[in-house]
């Protein structure tokens, strides 16, 4: 199949491209490199040194003998979106090009607005352009398990049967997101569902849990590594815990640490996206996949990380900073996740095994971690309306707020600092 990945330079986009190429699919991609700029904005960098885009393309050519067609630009520009879809006419569009950090969206009003405006605009532009130029194509849209929040009942996959005042219906399950970022995904879900219904498009809304890990089988050379963020804004829980252990810092489950989330290894996340692509829904069908393997409490992750760290001669402590977020620190959590299994999905990675792999890989980049140890501690507080000044001070320079939209043109040639 011919697959267009938006956000191909990102943590998931890059390994997805490699995975699809290895399975014989044709891959094209879009990126504006905004994540690279925004990670710099908060004073951090990827633990893995990420080559500039042309070097990534070259590595794919050299190591896999394959080609990725690439378009640098921003989904905020509708003519750009139209131009790419007109040239590519893909069978599937995997939409990963969104601001993906909850803490980033909570910095201040500008970051909240940038997150929601960009995420919603990009999705609407894609929906309109698909309707116009490739109405038969399948949109695989990255949503998040965080759309549902933590209700005191089981969480279905998107829809549930409800009886109310003697009548029954199948309705979207209520959303109770926990950040401006997570709410942007809720609004996107509504837009994708509506566009699918009125225009007869095909779409899969992937409610993805927290991804962890750094490796997929296709990453056979350092030139093919994906980015790995560990700062408080861009790093996710388990990835951060491993880095904290390596740097001899306490592992930081926030608050009581009894908050639970669904987790999935990077490699299995790629498997499930591919299965979604290879099994498109019917025209007019909007379907929802809850994409995670197992639910863990944050304390359990911290404990597991500590135990594996011991195997590597490290002896981290576990400390509980006050939760910078406003979230239930103890709650019921039982989401259903059957739809992907029905398509043949099987988890291949076990948490402890991935933890060992993370320790092995990241110790090689210890100096890059060491140089940025100050960005690990949580600064962005959900209750504060303005966290920018604190962040700016820590980043050691003036922060101009959200990075400005990129100008379409030639890809940068410099390797990420």
Min CB(323)–ligand USQ separation in Å: 6
Binding ligand USQ (rule: CB under 6 A), the pick from 254, 372, 384, 411 is 254
E-strand ranges in 83-212 read 92-95, 138-144, 159-164, 167-172, 202-208, 210-212
Contact between 101 and ligand USQ (CB under 6 A)? yes
Contact between 15 and ligand USQ (CB under 6 A)? no
Catalytic residue among 11, 104, 181, 345: 181
Contact between 236 and ligand USQ (CB under 6 A)? yes
E-strand ranges in 219-350 read 260-265, 286-291, 294-297
- Contact region with ligand USQ (CB under 6 A), list: 48-56, 72-80, 206-214, 383-391: 206-214
CA distance 75 to 242: 34
Binding ligand USQ (rule: CB under 6 A), the pick from 146, 156, 316, 402 is 146
- Contact region with ligand USQ (CB under 6 A), list: 168-176, 251-259, 345-353, 407-415: 251-259
**Could you confirm whether 252 is annotated as catalytic?**
no
Closer residue to ligand USQ, CB minimum distance, 196 or 208: 208
CA distances from 334 to 43, 149, 162, 260, 267 (A): 37, 11, 18, 9, 23
- Contact region with ligand USQ (CB under 6 A), list: 45-53, 78-86, 215-223, 232-240: 232-240
Q: Residue 52: CB partners within 8 Å, gap ≥ 6?
A: 411, 412, 413, 414, 415, 416
CA distance 317 to 332: 27
Contact between 209 and ligand USQ (CB under 6 A)? yes
Interface characters, 40-79, with ligand USQ (x: CB under 6 A): ----------------------------------------
Closer residue to ligand USQ, CB minimum distance, 196 or 239: 239
Min CB(406)–ligand USQ separation in Å: 20
E-strand ranges in 69-180 read 69-72, 92-95, 138-144, 159-164, 167-172
Contact between 210 and ligand USQ (CB under 6 A)? yes
- Contact region with ligand USQ (CB under 6 A), list: 24-32, 65-73, 247-255, 332-340: 247-255
CA distance 363 to 315: 15
* 254's tokens: 């926030």
| Under 8 Å between Cβ of 26 and 3 | yes
Give phi and psi for 391, each to the nearest 5.
-65, -40
Binding ligand USQ (rule: CB under 6 A), the pick from 10, 213, 253, 280 is 253
CA distances from 299 to 238, 270, 282, 314, 410 (A): 11, 26, 41, 18, 45
**Could you confirm whether 144 is annotated as catalytic?**
yes
CA-closest candidate to residue 215, choices 263, 264, 267: 267
Binding ligand USQ (rule: CB under 6 A), the pick from 102, 246, 249, 275 is 102
Cα-Cα-Cα-Cα dihedral sign, residues 112, 231, 294, 94: positive
| Under 8 Å between Cβ of 316 and 309 | yes
Contact between 25 and ligand USQ (CB under 6 A)? no
**Could you confirm whether 185 is annotated as catalytic?**
yes
Catalytic residue among 115, 185, 196, 204: 185
Contact between 240 and ligand USQ (CB under 6 A)? yes
Residues that bind ligand USQ (CB under 6 A): 100-102, 144-146, 208-210, 236-237, 240, 252-254, 259, 261-262, 298, 325, 327
Catalytic residues: 144, 181, 185
């Amino acid at each position: 199949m011919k697959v267009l990945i938006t956000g191909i330079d990102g943590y998931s986009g890059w390994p997805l491209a490699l995975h699809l190429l290895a399975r014989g699919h044709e891959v094209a991609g879009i990126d504006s490199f905004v994540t690279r700029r925004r990670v710099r904005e908060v004073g951090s960098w990827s633990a893995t040194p990420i080559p500039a885009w042309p070097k990534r393309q070259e590595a794919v050519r050299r190591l896999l003998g394959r080609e990725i067609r690439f378009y640098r630009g921003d989904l905020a520009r509708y003519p750009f979106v139209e131009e790419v879809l007109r040239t590519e006419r893909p069978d599937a569009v995997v939409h990963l090009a969104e601001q993906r950090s909850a803490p980033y969206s909570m910095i201040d009003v500008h970051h909240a607005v940038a997150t929601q405006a960009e995420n919603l605009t990009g999705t609407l532009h894609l929906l309109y352009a698909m309707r116009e130029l490739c109405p038969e194509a399948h949109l695989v849209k990255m949503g998040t398990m965080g759309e549902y929040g933590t209700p005191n009942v089981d969480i279905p996959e998107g829809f549930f049967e409800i009886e109310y005042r003697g009548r029954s219906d199948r309705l979207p399950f209520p959303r109770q997101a926990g950040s401006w970022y997570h709410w942007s995904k809720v609004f996107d879900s509504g837009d994708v569902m509506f566009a699918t219904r009125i225009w007869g498009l095909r779409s899969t809304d992937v409610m993805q849990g927290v991804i962890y890990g750094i490796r997929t089988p296709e990453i056979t050379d350092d030139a093919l590594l994906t980015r790995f963020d560990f700062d408080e804004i861009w790093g996710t829980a388990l990835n951060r815990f491993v880095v904290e252990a390596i740097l001899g810092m306490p592992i930081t489950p926030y608050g009581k640490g009894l908050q639970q989330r669904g987790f999935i290894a990077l490699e299995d996340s790629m498997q499930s996206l591919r299965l979604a692509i290879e099994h498109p829904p019917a025209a007019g069908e909007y379907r929802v996949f809850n994409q995670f393997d197992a639910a863990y409490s944050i304390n359990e992750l911290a404990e597991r990380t500590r135990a594996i760290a011991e195997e590597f001669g490290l002896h981290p402590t576990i400390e509980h900073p006050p939760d910078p977020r406003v979230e239930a620190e103890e709650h019921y959590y039982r989401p259903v996740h059957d739809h992907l299994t029905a398509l043949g999905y099987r988890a291949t990675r076990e948490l402890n095994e991935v933890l060992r792999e993370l320790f092995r890989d990241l110790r090689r980049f210890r100096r890059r971690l060491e140089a940025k140890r100050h960005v690990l501690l949580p600064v962005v507080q959900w209750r504060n309306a303005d966290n920018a000044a604190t962040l700016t001070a820590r980043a050691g320079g003036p922060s101009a707020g959200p990075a400005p939209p990129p100008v379409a043109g030639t890809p940068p040639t410099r390797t990420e600092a």
